[in-house]
C-alpha cells in the first residue's frame, strides 16, 4: 500500500491539504516517498486535563496538533519520527477508555480512542509502519524513553515529600526525569539531559542524586579506560586511593523512582483511513 501510493497525485493532494490546515505555523510535510496513510482524532492525556488532538499517520512520521476548526485549521504541530516510537497498551480508567502510550526518547504521552476497534487499528498501522521503517533503515528499536508526566489531578500532595499540599498558591511542578508531580522545595535542582533538551531541566531531588551518581560512575569508567594509556605515555603509576564515595544519608522515599504508573496489558489509539 505504501509503495503503491508513493509519489501519486492523490497522496500529494492529501499531504498538501494537511499542510494547508496547519498553515504557516506548521512545517512542510511533503517529501519524496512519504505517504499519508490515515488520520483521526484521539484524546491526549495532558497535564491539566484530557484534550482532543488531530493525528496524522505517515509511513515515516506521526504528526499531531491542536484542533482550531476540524478539517480546516490546526496549530501546535508536533512531528515524531516513527523509528523513535514504542507503543504500550494501558488499562481503562473511570475517565478514559481504549488507552495506550506513545513512548519516544524526547516525550512520552497517553492517548485514547473512541472505540476498542479504533485503538486496534491505530496500533496495528503504527506497528506495521515502525517495523517496515526499522527493517528499511537497519536500526534497532528505541530502548530509552522519556517518562510520561503524571497528570496534575492524580495527586493533591507532593509525590516526593508527601507533606506539601498543592493549592492556588502552591504550584505543582513535574520532574523531567521521572514525571512525578512535585513541590518547589523537592525540585530545586536542574540537570542537563541532552537527549531531552540542550538546557538543564527541572528534576526532583531524588532523581538529581541518582543522575549525579550515574554521571560520577560514567566519569570513573572513562578515567579507568584512559589511565593505562596515560600511564604508559607519561610513565607514572596511578594512585591507589579509595574512589568510592557512597552517600550514607539517602532517605527512603515514599514514592520510589521506579514506580510505574502506566503499565498494563492494554494500549491506547485510534485510526481512520
Q: What residue numbers bound the domain in which 58 lies?
A: 3-137
Question: pLDDT value at position 95?
Answer: 83
Question: pLDDT value at position 260?
Answer: 56
Question: pLDDT value at position 175?
Answer: 95
In a domain, 252, yes or no: no
Question: pLDDT value at position 42?
Answer: 97
Question: pLDDT value at position 140?
Answer: 85
Same domain, 95 and 154: no
Give the CATH number, domain containing residue 174.
Answer: 3.30.40.10
Same domain, 76 and 130: yes
Give the CATH number, domain containing residue 123.
Answer: 2.30.29.30
How do the residues of the chain divide into helix, strand and coil, expressed in percent and rounded to 5?
Answer: 30, 25, 45
Question: pLDDT value at position 6?
Answer: 75
Q: What is the pLDDT along the chain (273 residues), one digit of tens a residue?
A: 566 777 789 999 999 999 999 999 999 999 999 999 999 999 999 988 899 999 999 999 999 999 999 999 999 999 999 999 999 999 998 888 999 999 998 899 999 999 999 999 999 999 999 999 999 888 888 778 899 999 998 899 999 999 999 998 999 999 999 999 999 999 999 999 988 888 999 999 999 999 999 999 988 888 888 776 666 666 545 444 444 444 444 444 455 555 555 554 433 333 333
Same domain, 99 and 163: no
In a domain, 194, yes or no: yes
Angle 13-28-148 from CA coordinates, rounded to 5°: 110
* Kind of pairing between the strands at 99-103 and 108-112: antiparallel
Spatial separation of the C-alpha atoms in residues 267 and 117, rounded to whole Å:
12
In a domain, 239, yes or no: no
CA separation, residue 29 to residues 21, 39, 64, 80, 264 (Å): 12, 14, 12, 12, 34
Q: What is the pTM of this model?
A: 0.74
Same domain, 21 and 82: yes
Q: What total number of domains does the chain contain? A: 2
Same domain, 60 and 129: yes
Give residue 76's region: left, alpha or beta (phi > 0; psi -120 to 50). Answer: left
In a domain, 37, yes or no: yes
DSSP 263: -
Amino acid at each position: 500500500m505504501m509503495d503503491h501510493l508513493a509519489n501519486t497525485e492523490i497522496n500529494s493532494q492529501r499531504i498538501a491539504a494537511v499542510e494547508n490546515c496547519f498553515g504557516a505555523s506548521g512545517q512542510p510535510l511533503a517529501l519524496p516517498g512519504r505517504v499519508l496513510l490515515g488520520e483521526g482524532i484521539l484524546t491526549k492525556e495532558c497535564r491539566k486535563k484530557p484534550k482532543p488532538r488531530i493525528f496524522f499517520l505517515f509511513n515515516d512520521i506521526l504528526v499531531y496538533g491542536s484542533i482550531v476548526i476540524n478539517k480546516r485549521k490546526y496549530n501546535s504541530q508536533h512531528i515524531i519520527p516513527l523509528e523513535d516510537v514504542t507503543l504500550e497498551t494501558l488499562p481503562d480508567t473511570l475517565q478514559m477508555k481504549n488507552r495506550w502510550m506513545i513512548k519516544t526518547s524526547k516525550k512520552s504521552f497517553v492517548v485514547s480512542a473512541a472505540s476498542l476497534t479504533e485503538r486496534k487499528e491505530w496500533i496495528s498501522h503504527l506497528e506495521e509502519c515502525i517495523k517496515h521503517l526499522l527493517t528499511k533503515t537497519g536500526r534497532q528499536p528505541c530502548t530509552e524513553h522519556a517518562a510520561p508526566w503524571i497528570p496534575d489531578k492524580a495527586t493533591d500532595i507532593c509525590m516526593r515529600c508527601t507533606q506539601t499540599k498543592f493549592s492556588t498558591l502552591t504550584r505543582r511542578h513535574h520532574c523531567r526525569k521521572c514525571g512525578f508531580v512535585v513541590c518547589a522545595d523537592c525540585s530545586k535542582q536542574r540537570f542537563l539531559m541532552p537527549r531531552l533538551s540542550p538546557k538543564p531541566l527541572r528534576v526532583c531531588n531524588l532523581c538529581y542524586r541518582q543522575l549525579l551518581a550515574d554521571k560520577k560512575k560514567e566519569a570513573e569508567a572513562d578515567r579507568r579506560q584512559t589511565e593505562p594509556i596515560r600511564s604508559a605515555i607519561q610513565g607514572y603509576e596511578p594512585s591507589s586511593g579509595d574512589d568510592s564515595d557512597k552517600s550514607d544519608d539517602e532517605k527512603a522515599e515514599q514514592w520510589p523512582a521506579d514506580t510505574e504508573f502506566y503499565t498494563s496489558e492494554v494500549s491506547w489509539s485510534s485510526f481512520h483511513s
